[in-house]
Amino acid sequence: MLFRTLRWSDSGIKGQDYLPSLLGNEKDGTFSDLGRLQYFNLEYLSSVPVNSPGSKTSPTTNQPTEASNSEQNLSVYIDPLRIQDCCREPETDRAGERKLRQSLSLRRILPEYTAHEFSDNITTSGLEVLCVDDDPCFRLIVSRVLKKNGFRVTGLGTAEQALQLLKQRKTESGETDFPSVIMMDSILPGMDGITAVRLMRQLYPDALVPIILMSTDDSVELIGKSFEVGASDHFVKPMCSTNLLSRVMVQIKLKHNWQLQSSSHQKHTKLLHELLPREVVSRLIDGERLIYDHHPEVTILFADIVNYTELAASISTIHLIQILNAVFSKFDSLSEKHGVFKIETIGDSYMAVAGHDSLTKDDHPQRMLRMAMDMIGTVEHVRNPLTQGTLQIRVGIHTGPCYAGVVGRKMPRYCFFGDTINTASRMESTGFPGCVQVTDAAYKSYLSVAEISELSASVNDLGWRTIKGKGLMRAWLFVPEGQNAQEN
């Protein structure tokens, strides 16, 4: 390994009293503690003496007494992350600090990396890195390294300032605008970095913000403590800029990949909850294979389109699918509005249930009748290409006991079993266009939780009717306002 010796005369800065206080304690202005300097490309300083471990440097001529030609031609490498000592200056001499930075040309020694070299689908443009370190020069150099690669950098000197910044960034919606990455020194005035990271993780447990702890201590205990309190990474100073940039980009990539997976998981979970009740999804995830539950009382709804067979024969299949999609999409929105679970659609038939879960078990007849009225009103805005009028539906409702569950392993569906389903279907098939026919059980169940007056409809007692497959059954007809029950 080659050693390098820098002298004040090489930096081009005058002032023997000022300069040694910046770089070292040697009165002749020689800074030789080069173990603190790592390697960084600084080719334009190739004229600075390069000394092997056995060579000596003359304190008067600044020229090496022993150095080969090959060593003279080597580039000098200095890590700007370790030049921080030479950038500290008294408050009275900022001009000297500026000259020193110009002589070292920090701007020129930054690596010529660009964001696309790290990832083809991740851009660093606009990403913010919060650097918390009590050394202003270290923050300056980190800022130079990261800004050159597209990052925005916010520098703070204490952990308290960082916590206050996060608190101030809380939006009206209650969410916090976090930086993309937080870099924090472990030793800070006031609250230390370890405590600050632990507090951040406690205050913002759901925040997907990587936190990189930094220290000059490479002890296993400190590194282990960093990860224990919630740090995403830990690096030991000094560090070359390439390593710094790589570590930041690793955290950016990990966060990006996690966000992609989380977004995909949320979409899959949402789709799954639209197919199956939440309670059933949880049980399937827990490993249950055969799920069947008895429900003492639920309300089942069936609805279908009047004259659907003739309609399907008179228009193209694509047109028919478009009409069904428009109608069923409106029904789906109504099911979400009323908290009703859509079971399935078969052809033009739409089937829904309420009372099977904790959310709807106390008022399922009321929910279902409200939805039925809204369904009839919704289809009045859909044109029927067969009659050139408005589309009409029939709705049937029954309340009673049933079983529900998931049977089989492939393409699971939440199915309902029992005579209640068959009875509700018969109410629909023997019903009337633009009206809701309900059984006596559904009618009485509704009266137990609500008043008829809350519905914009009239109620007609149909008496005992002969229902195919069921015999005599008492039925009631709910007719929305504007409909003529006698005509229906």
pLDDT attached to residue 117: 43
Q: Single out the residue in 104, 135, 168 at which a domain terminates.
A: 104
pLDDT attached to residue 286: 84
Strand, helix or coil for residue 123: coil
* Higher pLDDT pick, 49 / 368: 368
Whole-angstrom CA distances from 322 to 38, 61, 343, 447 are 68, 90, 21, 38
Mean per-residue pLDDT of the chain: 76
In a domain, 485, yes or no: no
Same domain, 33 and 132: no
Residues 133-160: b if buried by 16+ CB within 10 A, e if exposed: bebebbbbbbbbbbebbbbbbebbbbbe
Residue 355 pLDDT > 70, yes or no? yes
In a domain, 413, yes or no: yes
Q: What residues contact 81, with CB distance under 8 A and at least 6 apart?
A: 38, 138, 141, 142, 237, 238, 239, 240, 241, 244
Q: Single out the residue in 75, 104, 133 at which a domain terminates.
A: 104
Distance (Å, rounded) from C-alpha 93 to C-alpha 100?
A: 11
Same domain, 195 and 171: yes
Evaluate whether 191 touches 155 at the Cβ level (below 8 Å): no
Q: What percent of the chain stands above pLDDT 70? A: 74
Residue 36 pLDDT > 80, yes or no? no
In a domain, 404, yes or no: yes
pLDDT attached to residue 483: 63
Q: What residues contact 179, with CB distance under 8 A and at least 6 apart?
A: 128, 129, 130, 154, 209
Same domain, 255 and 146: yes
For residue 30, report the phi and psi dihedrals to the nearest 5 degrees: -95, 125
The domain total for the chain is: 3
Q: What percent of the chain stands above pLDDT 90? A: 39
Same domain, 193 and 82: no
- Confidence band of 163 (pLDDT split at 50, 70, 90): very high
Same domain, 455 and 318: yes
- Confidence band of 325 (pLDDT split at 50, 70, 90): very high
pLDDT attached to residue 467: 87
pLDDT attached to residue 16: 34
Same domain, 73 and 125: no
Query: Cα(first)–Cα(last) distance of the chain, in Å?
Result: 99
Evaluate whether 435 touches 483 at the Cβ level (below 8 Å): yes
- Taking only the tens place, the pLDDT of each residue in 234-243 is 988 887 888 8
Residue 96 pLDDT > 90, yes or no? no
- Confidence band of 482 (pLDDT split at 50, 70, 90): low
Same domain, 306 and 428: yes
In a domain, 331, yes or no: yes
- Confidence band of 113 (pLDDT split at 50, 70, 90): very low
Q: Which two tokens stand for residue 93?
A: 């001499």
- Confidence band of 386 (pLDDT split at 50, 70, 90): confident
Same domain, 88 and 127: no
Number of H helices and E strands in the chain, helices first, is 15, 19
pLDDT attached to residue 268: 85
Same domain, 182 and 303: no
Q: Tell me what the mean pLDDT of segment 54-63 comes to.
A: 40
In a domain, 59, yes or no: yes
Q: Tell me what the mean pLDDT of segment 102-122 comes to.
A: 43
Residue 304 pLDDT > 60, yes or no? yes
- Taking only the tens place, the pLDDT of each residue in 181-199 is 999 999 999 999 999 999 9
Residue 48 pLDDT > 50, yes or no? no
Q: Tell me what the mean pLDDT of segment 290-297 comes to.
A: 90
Residue 26 pLDDT > 80, yes or no? no
Q: What is the DSSP letter of 298?
A: E
Residue ranges making up the domain that contains 26 = 3-104
pTM comes to 0.57
CA angle (91 as vertex; 85, 94 as ends), nearest 5: 75
Phi-psi region of 270 (alpha: psi -120 to 50; beta: other; left: phi over 0): alpha
Range of 248-252, 259-263, 298-302 with top mean pLDDT: 298-302
- Taking only the tens place, the pLDDT of each residue in 202-255 is 999 888 899 999 998 888 899 999 999 999 999 888 878 888 888 999 898 888
In a domain, 272, yes or no: no
Would you call the peptide bond into 80 cis, given omega within 30 degrees of 0 as the criterion? no
* Higher pLDDT pick, 125 / 1: 125
pLDDT attached to residue 191: 94
Q: Tell me what the mean pLDDT of segment 124-134 comes to.
A: 89
Distance (Å, rounded) from C-alpha 271 to C-alpha 264?
A: 11
Same domain, 244 and 285: no
CATH number, residue 186: 3.40.50.2300
Same domain, 431 and 311: yes
CATH number, residue 338: 3.30.70.1230
- Taking only the tens place, the pLDDT of each residue in 432-462 is 999 999 999 999 998 887 777 777 788 888 9
In a domain, 159, yes or no: yes
Residue 97 pLDDT > 80, yes or no? no
In a domain, 486, yes or no: no
- Confidence band of 61 (pLDDT split at 50, 70, 90): very low
Same domain, 314 and 354: yes
Q: Tell me what the mean pLDDT of segment 390-417 comes to.
A: 89
Name the residue among 351, 365, 442, 335 with its Cα closest to residue 404. Answer: 351
- Confidence band of 319 (pLDDT split at 50, 70, 90): very high
